[in-house]
Structure 1
Amino acid sequence: MIYKVFYQETKDRNPRREQTKSLYIEVEANSELDGRIKTRKLVEEKTDYNIEFIELLSDKHLEYEKESGVFALTEL
């Protein structure tokens, strides 16, 4: 399963929509909820990011992200 994580680079400042960034992580999971939990844990352990939202990408959404040219899996 591939998840898109929306985040702010620091927890020290108030979040601003204009500064939201995203990354893509592939996680082995039994369910969508299990994948979200594993993704959050992984990002929190490896970074200082302030996670805003974690989204499971559907096949169509993944295809769109790949076509837009911004898609790249992140390894933490």
Structure 2
Amino acid sequence: MIFKVYFQDKITEVPVRERTNTLYIEATTEANVRFKLKERGYNIEFVTAVDGAYLEYEKQSENYKVLEI
């Protein structure tokens, strides 16, 4: 399953919409996503599963690239 992760680059950074980044990652659960990204030091704001029509829409984005860890 593909998950979309909203995050700040640094764990100490306060979430601000204008500086929020996103990435896509393949994992089995949200907990698995957080485990895979733990070593990167991101301040993860939100993780959501992406499937169906929403996934097809996201694939059309120029920023769509699935991170493989």
Q: TM-score if structure 2 supplies the norm length?
A: 0.90
Q: What RMSD in Å do the two structures reach over aligned CA positions? A: 1.1
Corresponding residue for residue 42 of structure 1 = 36
Aligned residues, how many? 69
Which structure shows the bigger proportion of residues in helix conformation? Answer: 1
Corresponding residue for residue 50 of structure 2 = 57
Q: TM-score if structure 1 supplies the norm length?
A: 0.83
> Where has structure 1 moved over 6 Å in runs of 4 or more?
none
Structure 2 unmatched ranges of 5 or more? none
Cα distance in structure 2, aligned partners of 1:61 and 1:5: 14
Structure 1 unmatched ranges of 5 or more? 30-34
2:5 touches 2:47 (CA, 8 Å); kept in 1? yes
Q: How does 1:1-76 map to 2 (within 5 A)?
A: 1-27=1-27, 29=28, 35-44=29-38, 46-76=39-69
Larger Cα-atom Rg = 1
